[in-house]
Structure 1
Amino acid sequence: MTSYSQSNPARALQANAVLSLQGGCSCPPSTSNEGHLSSVNKQLSESLDFVQHRGPDARGEWSSPDGNVHLGHVRLSIIDLSPQANQPFHDSVDDVHAIVNGELYEDDHYRQLLGSEYDFKSQSDCEIVLALYRHYGLSFLSHLRGEFALILWDARRKVFIGARDRYGVKSLYYTVVNNQLLVATEMKCFLPFGWKPEWDVQSIREQGWMFGAGTFFKGVHAVAPGHYIISKNFKNIQDAVYWDAEYPDKRTTIEHRSEEEMIEGVRTRLMEAIKIRLRADVPLGIYLSGGIDSSAVAGMVAHLVKEEGARLGNDDSHLLSRIKCFTVQFDKDSGADESDIAQRTAEWLGVDFHPVPVTEETIVEKFEDTIWHSETPMPDVNGIGRLAMAEVAKSHGMKVILTGEGSDEHFAGYGDLSHELFLERDLTWPSAPSSAELAHAEQLFNTTYSSMVNDASRMKSPESTRRMLNNTSILNRVASVGRMPFAKWTDTYGVTTPDTAQAESLDGRVRDAIATRWHPLHTAEYLFTKGFFCNLLLRYLGDNIDMVHHVETRPPFLDHHLTEYANGLPPSVKIKCNSPEGSLTEKYVLREAVRPFVTEEIYLRRKKPYLGPTRFSENGPLHQMVLRLTVRENVEALGFVDWEETQEYVRKAFQDKDSWSLRVSFSVCQFVVLSRKFGVAKATP
């Protein structure tokens, strides 16, 4: 719950939400004179200018008659391209108003169900929000299926709601400035309203911005995935959960389904999740890498188009050659390029393949734009590759793209997740490996991934935290991504370890489930998905970047019908321990489910994360860029970073070719870019 002083209880909460593609809600200060309204409308318009790229097709602004609520929206037209589908939406009696960013599925079902009681004005999928709210009240959120962030204002009851989809595909932030509640899809939208950003050094040191609903700016919060914020009659904001992930109780659950049944269950749900995401009134394509996730999406799309006659966006030709797939192509000798594998997959499927070259010069050119739009310091260059792909996809007329995000998080694809399998035997699955088999597999795993194990072992957690997290170490493993050369004075904020901070931020019921009910692998999936995944990966490699070039991305693996099924599977079906050799097959049940739709090469290939190159020449274009960004003036202007230590990291990154030093250098550069573009005040003790 966010609270603040209330000098005028009747009108204490002021709101002004600007929701990217679609906007937000605002209640201006207590005066409602014409001059003030004009000022707020001007601020709202300027805030929409910051995200005009997210919705170049239409723009809508609305103010309540009493001047207490303002909605702003920019539209990327996907479903129903007519003006009737422009936003904000208003019900027939002008009581309920809403703006929705994203895509909602199964809207035809609700149109048929609620058509007799609600007068639909368009064919937009997003308009069902109003009908569902009027029919189900606050429970309407549970009926939404898709990727969304939304604002709803019930003028009759004076109820304000801001909500976000279950996995945080779409972003939604809020803050209070001059007694106004501002809600927006990107934090930069707050600037026209007089917001003066300040670094939250405690959040940066404890990595709260990476793992929780906080951000690295003081007073700015994210609406957490599966959450909503609500205010009634302009009173205090309350934060609540409408959905959360759940896993089997390891103490009592016995899995009676056969392996074949579970494989078919995954296949059926993934196929459906992909099929409903093919609907669009505009061209639709696919992001294809060298991994099994995006390859499975491409293979199933090809099957649906060829064998089931599915329509691909606005293309009903049913020709595989019309399916456009886009792949990042890093330098061949970088060790990060997968374009050759992706091309072989595309040729096997018979689809139209488009590699997107990303050179060192490209990385330099798009570095600052990527951090500005993502608003996420992610120490890698893969987000720059994503930005380049979106640009090429747009040039080919694509407005919708299917992607593979979310598979590793729900089917245990990362090596970091595999480590947690060994902590406890899986008693829910009769065919699970024995304790002796697990011990043998762990020995082999530790030998194969010795560097990862050693890195984790050097990061010590308090014993109480280890008990809270049931000895899982996933938070410590990913915390290294936030490594920074902090100024000495910030040590006062370094007393609490990042994993302790996140453990303490969890709902008490979740901590109890971690300690007593969930297998450690499921705990690790939950913690990764709720933190690093939604706060970094989905921002730096997702919607914020794709929308720069007016591309809406849809991740079928994050369909909650599929994820709820995957969450209910035994851990040892997700990661199979192969006896007697002791090797592991990650994402086993998924591999088997999608095997008919991918090449044998993809089926057998081990997981390789989508990462950019980590070694660059000394005095090359990227080195020169890093040197420019990390000059003393820039680093010291941050206030919380040590300049001399930063220089040593930069030296190691380019002279010693140390990949972790490069990541640290990138992090500093990205905070410098954010500092300059947002005009952030220097942090001081």
Structure 2
Amino acid sequence: MCGITGFWNPSRTNERELRFSLDRMLDVLDHRGPDERGSRFFQERGLAMGHTRLSIIGLACGHQPIETDDGDYAVTVNGELYDYKRIRTALACEDYKCDGKSDSAITLPLYLKHDLAMVDHLRGEFAVVLYDDRKERLILIRDRFGVKPLYYAVKDNGIVWGSEVKSILQHPDIEPRLCPKAAVHQMMQVMVPGSTAFEGVDALLPGHMLVVQRNGDSLEVQTKRWWDFEFPESHDENADPEPFVQGVQDRLIDAVAARLEADVSVGCYLSGGIDSCSIIGLATTLQQSPVKAFTIAFDSDEYDESNIAKRMAERTGAEQELLRLTEKELYGPAFERATWHAERTFYNTLAVAKWHMSRRVRACNYKAVITGEGSDELFGGYPFFKRDWLGRDDEGGIFAGAILAEEDLQHSAWQDLCGFTPSWIQPWMLVLKRFEPILSSSLTDLLREYDPVGEVANAIDPAQVRGRHRLDVSQYTWSKTMLEGQILTWGGDRMDMANSMEARPAFLDHHVAEYATTIPPNIRIRNGVEKWVLREAMVNVLPRELYERKKFAFMAPPAHTDPVKRAAVQEMIDHWLTPSRVDSVGFFQHDKLMQFIDDAWKETDGTIARRNDIVMNHVLQLHMLHGQYVEGLPLPAVD
């Protein structure tokens, strides 16, 4: 796990300029790799590659960038590549040399053997930037689900890239400026795939590569998809479920075993859910020594599941580290710091909780944990998946206002694409409506011509949803948007790596994922029970109460649930939403915004109150992002 960054501008070949720019870009990625820093310059080409390292595999032999002996090829890697020992041995048998014994060392010989098809041989969570000087070709690669981030900005005179947007914004050719369209998308929580909060900076899509070819004095840029989360056009609805139960079990055991591979201790995140409990149960069996489990506890019974996590830890003999969080930890300086790391807004302070948890993990001298992200996406775990296939079965409870809409909505673009409007996007359509009365005139004018809900639909490949089962469509569209743009960014990598800690989501191993798409819907969700096939695969691992338990919302308690939290949010509002700053950012009308907040604190309907909390979080963070990245305000210290 590391940070990678760099740039290529054929017209700029001054060595001092190259070094000065790259150093600034690396400085803001220190948190991703505090153990070592490396750089490689192709001065005559105007190309610079940088790397900050968090050493987990090959502690003494993993320096990057990695080069060939002749210096014609160089690569930087962020993430983990599993099966590297087997691949390294196979390459050696064919006389392809790996420079060092780290997992990243397999990338260059794989490229020399397979060219761009090297990606098919990579297993894990990774972002790779490789330069081929013989062909004057630069290749940016992102893993299949987008577990590891990779961003880029293409200018008339070159390209800049980085593991985080903040490194790109340090380049002298890039002006930090919030994008109004992206601001609207952040308000509704759903980004257009491939976009960021900043003008001119894009995210490389999961399962894609960006190929940059020099042609004279210019660079030609082409994007290629090399993998997708693809469902079949039909399923055997009469299939025997038992082979699928065994298939899931076998592949998940293998995925967890692969992610226990490290030259440092590997722990597990443990909530009270089926996913993380399955992971720790398998890790306990696979690992000789007791597993270290890290659990978040909230000061609200309605949102806290740490009691079940505690029982799972006791059942497996795990050593549990329990982190209790209150309003003191979830708001104020930690909220601001989490926003800076996220580089976009988030609807719930779970992101802040994850920031605190990764800090605790490092304080316990752990650098890596295995997590349960991706299980819901593969096995139909979220309530909106079940709603799309089987219809409404309840009023949503604490899901209502946050991830379930209380009314059925339709949108023409989604109707055309899917034949229905997925339930997962409907609550965010309602959140956007809550924003409309407080928007500035410029954003109001923008929304007369720009349809943010339709733009998200337009980013989905129609060939991957048409003719598919409704459950497949719902899972696919969520995975191409919210999995990457929310769960794996501000809910995952960005908060983990903020404190130099690597998360390894075993469910998103592509062997598990590709198999999951073949499981018929009535085996993924059986007799109304979500993730049935996973429950059966883990029946001997999970406690009975968890095996029988419905999906629980892993969210932090919203501010409206507690007057102390409300006061903490109001303190941030008083600081960040001054008339001058609101006017400077230009997204809202200050008077109407203040009236909205006053009314929000008086709201008694729980669904509307949750939605109001979401609005306030996004408003605050848009102004924080402007202050942090455009104005250059310093980050506060966190106790």
Same fold (TM over 0.5): yes
Paired with 2:601 and 2:520, the residues of 1 have a C-alpha distance of 44
Match of 1:346 among 313, 326, 340: 313
Match of 1:215 in 2: 196
Tell me the matched-pair count: 611
100 and 498 in structure 1: CA distance in 2 versus 1, 3 angstrom threshold: same
Paired with 2:537 and 2:553, the residues of 1 have a C-alpha distance of 21
Query: 1:133 Cα deviation (Å)?
Result: 0.5
Query: 1:65 Cα deviation (Å)?
Result: 4.3
CA contact (8 A) 2:236 2:520 kept: no
Query: 1:46 Cα deviation (Å)?
Result: 1.1
Query: 1:458 Cα deviation (Å)?
Result: 5.8
Query: Does residue 1:665 correspond to 2:616, yes or no?
Result: yes
Matches of residues 208-357 of structure 1 in structure 2 within 5 Å? 210-233=191-214, 234-250=218-234, 253-254=235-236, 257-305=239-287, 318-320=288-290, 323-331=291-299, 333=300, 335-357=302-324
Match of 2:499 in 1: 549
CA contact (8 A) 1:206 1:497 kept: no
Report the more deviating stretch, 256-265 or 663-672: 256-265
Query: Does residue 1:540 correspond to 2:490, yes or no?
Result: yes
Match of 1:78 in 2: 56
Query: Does residue 1:370 correspond to 2:333, yes or no?
Result: no
Match of 1:492 among 445, 465, 468: 445
Instruction: Provide Cα deviations, 1:27-73, integer angstroms capped at 9, x if missing partner.
Output: 235142xxx32022111111111010110111001101414211000
CA contact (8 A) 2:572 2:620 kept: no
One-letter amino acid matched to 2:74: H
Paired with 2:498 and 2:337, the residues of 1 have a C-alpha distance of 9
Match of 1:63 among 41, 46, 49: 41
Match of 2:535 among 573, 585, 591: 591
One-letter amino acid matched to 1:362: E
Paired with 1:114 and 1:123, the residues of 2 have a C-alpha distance of 13
626 and 446 in structure 1: CA distance in 2 versus 1, 3 angstrom threshold: closer
Match of 1:504 in 2: 458
Query: Does residue 1:469 correspond to 2:418, yes or no?
Result: yes
CA contact (8 A) 1:227 1:243 kept: yes
Query: Does residue 1:407 correspond to 2:375, yes or no?
Result: yes
Report the more deviating stretch, 469-478 or 369-378: 469-478
CA contact (8 A) 2:190 2:428 kept: no
Query: 1:492 Cα deviation (Å)?
Result: 3.2
RMSD: 2.3
Report the more deviating stretch, 335-344 or 279-288: 335-344
Match of 1:3 in 2: none
One-letter amino acid matched to 1:108: K
Paired with 1:187 and 1:444, the residues of 2 have a C-alpha distance of 41
Matches of residues 20-169 of structure 1 in structure 2 within 5 Å? 21-28=2-9, 30-32=11-13, 36-82=14-60, 84-115=61-92, 116-169=94-147
CA contact (8 A) 1:203 1:214 kept: yes
Paired with 2:37 and 2:396, the residues of 1 have a C-alpha distance of 57
Match of 1:623 among 570, 578, 584: 570
Paired with 1:297 and 1:563, the residues of 2 have a C-alpha distance of 16
The answer for unaligned runs of 5 or more in structure 2 is 633-639
CA contact (8 A) 2:396 2:406 kept: no
One-letter amino acid matched to 2:285: H
Which secondary structure state, in structure 2, belongs to the residue aligned with residue 24 of structure 1? Answer: strand
Which secondary structure state, in structure 1, belongs to the residue aligned with residue 135 of structure 2? Answer: coil
CA contact (8 A) 1:103 1:146 kept: yes
Paired with 2:248 and 2:386, the residues of 1 have a C-alpha distance of 20
Matches of residues 380-459 of structure 1 in structure 2 within 5 Å? 380-422=348-390, 442=391, 444-445=393-394, 455=405, 457=407, 459=409
Paired with 2:296 and 2:382, the residues of 1 have a C-alpha distance of 21
Query: Does residue 1:175 correspond to 2:158, yes or no?
Result: no
Match of 1:558 among 508, 533, 544: 508
Report the more deviating stretch, 334-343 or 213-222: 334-343
Query: 1:217 Cα deviation (Å)?
Result: 1.6
Match of 2:545 in 1: 601
Query: 1:650 Cα deviation (Å)?
Result: 2.4
One-letter amino acid matched to 1:120: C
Query: 1:673 Cα deviation (Å)?
Result: 0.9
Paired with 2:548 and 2:199, the residues of 1 have a C-alpha distance of 47
Query: 1:304 Cα deviation (Å)?
Result: 1.3
Query: 1:193 Cα deviation (Å)?
Result: 1.6
409 and 443 in structure 1: CA distance in 2 versus 1, 3 angstrom threshold: closer
492 and 419 in structure 1: CA distance in 2 versus 1, 3 angstrom threshold: same
The answer for unaligned runs of 5 or more in structure 1 is 1-19, 306-317, 423-441, 578-583
Paired with 1:590 and 1:43, the residues of 2 have a C-alpha distance of 49
One-letter amino acid matched to 2:557: P
Query: 1:214 Cα deviation (Å)?
Result: 1.4
One-letter amino acid matched to 1:246: E
Report the more deviating stretch, 451-460 or 375-384: 451-460
Query: 1:144 Cα deviation (Å)?
Result: 0.7
One-letter amino acid matched to 2:341: H
Paired with 1:487 and 1:459, the residues of 2 have a C-alpha distance of 26
CA contact (8 A) 2:190 2:482 kept: no
Query: 1:417 Cα deviation (Å)?
Result: 1.1
Query: 1:478 Cα deviation (Å)?
Result: 4.2
Query: 1:220 Cα deviation (Å)?
Result: 0.9
96 and 479 in structure 1: CA distance in 2 versus 1, 3 angstrom threshold: farther
Match of 1:635 among 573, 579, 582: 582
One-letter amino acid matched to 1:486: L
Paired with 1:188 and 1:77, the residues of 2 have a C-alpha distance of 22
Match of 1:359 in 2: 326
Query: 1:334 Cα deviation (Å)?
Result: 5.2
Query: 1:232 Cα deviation (Å)?
Result: 1.2
Match of 2:601 in 1: 654
Match of 2:625 in 1: 674
Instruction: Provide Cα deviations, 1:171-230, integer angstroms capped at 9, x if missing partner.
Output: 111113572310001111123222212232233335696131112222110000001101
Paired with 2:2 and 2:543, the residues of 1 have a C-alpha distance of 37
CA contact (8 A) 1:79 1:281 kept: yes
Paired with 1:512 and 1:339, the residues of 2 have a C-alpha distance of 42
Match of 1:525 in 2: 475
Paired with 1:450 and 1:289, the residues of 2 have a C-alpha distance of 18
Instruction: Provide Cα deviations, 1:260-280, integer angstroms capped at 9, x if missing partner.
Output: 111111111111100000000
Match of 2:635 in 1: none
- Using the size of structure 2 for normalisation, the TM-score is 0.91
Which secondary structure state, in structure 2, belongs to the residue aligned with residue 70 of structure 1? Answer: strand
CA contact (8 A) 2:362 2:501 kept: yes
Paired with 1:475 and 1:519, the residues of 2 have a C-alpha distance of 18
CA contact (8 A) 1:380 1:663 kept: yes
